[in-house]
Structure 1
Amino acid sequence: MIAVISGDVIKSQHIPKHDYDAMLYQLDQSLRAITEGKHNQGIIYRGDAFQLQVNQPAQVCNVALLLYLHLKASGYEVRQSLAIGEIDNARADIKTATGSAFTLSGRGLDEMHSQRFIFNSIIEPTNEGLALNLAFIDVLLTKMTQKQANALYVYLTCENNQHSEVAKQLQTSRENVTKLLNLGHYQLVERFLQYAEKTIADTLSGAI
Structure 2
Amino acid sequence: MLYQLEQSLRSITTQRTHWNIYRGDAFQLQLNNPEQLFKTAILVYLHLKASGYELRQSMALGKIDNPRSDIKTATGSAFTLSGQGLDKIANQRFIINIAEQQLDESLSLNLAFVDVLLTKITLKQANALYVYLTKADNSHAAVAKELKTSRENVTKLLNLAHYQLIERFIKYTQQCIQKIIAGSK
Give 1 or 2: higher strand fraction. 1
**Structure 2: segments with no counterpart, 5+ residues:** none
What are the residue-to-residue correspondences of 1:1-208 with 2, within 5 Å?
A: 23-37=1-15, 39-208=16-185
Which 5+ residue runs of structure 1 have no aligned equivalent? 1-22
TM-score norm. by structure 1 comes to: 0.86
Cα distance in 2 between the residues matched to 1:196 and 1:163 = 24
Task: List per-residue Cα deviations over 1:84-113 (Å, max 9, x = no partner).
Answer: 000000101000000000000011012211
Instruction: With a CA cutoff of 8 Å and minimum separation of 6, indicate the structure with the bigger relative contact order.
Output: 1
Q: Which residue identity does 2:92 align to in structure 1?
A: Q
Q: Please give the TM-score of this superposition, normalised by the length of structure 2.
A: 0.97
Residue 3 of structure 2 aligns with an amino acid whose one-letter code is Y
* Contact 1:121 1:127 (C-alpha < 8 Å) held by counterparts: no
Aligned-residue offset at 1:70? 0.3
What are the Cα deviations for residues 112-169 of structure 1, in whole angstroms up to 9, with x where unaligned? 1100000110143544332211100010001000000000000000001110001110
Measure, in 2, the Cα distance between the counterparts of 1:191 and 1:138: 14
The one-character-per-residue Cα deviations of 1:163-194 (angstroms, maximum 9, x if unpaired) are 00011100000000000000000000000000
1:78 is paired with a residue whose SS is: coil
RMSD across aligned C-alpha pairs, in angstroms? 1.1
Structure 2 CA distance, aligned partners of 1:187 and 1:71?
A: 21
Q: Tell me the distance in 2 between the aligned counterparts of 1:177 and 1:42.
A: 32
- Percent identity at matched positions? 65
1:207 Cα deviation from its structure 2 partner: 1.9
Which stretch has the larger CA shift, 188-197 or 118-127? 118-127
Q: Distance in 2 between matches of 1:204 and 1:67?
A: 23
In 2, Cα distance between the equivalents of 1:204 and 1:148?
33
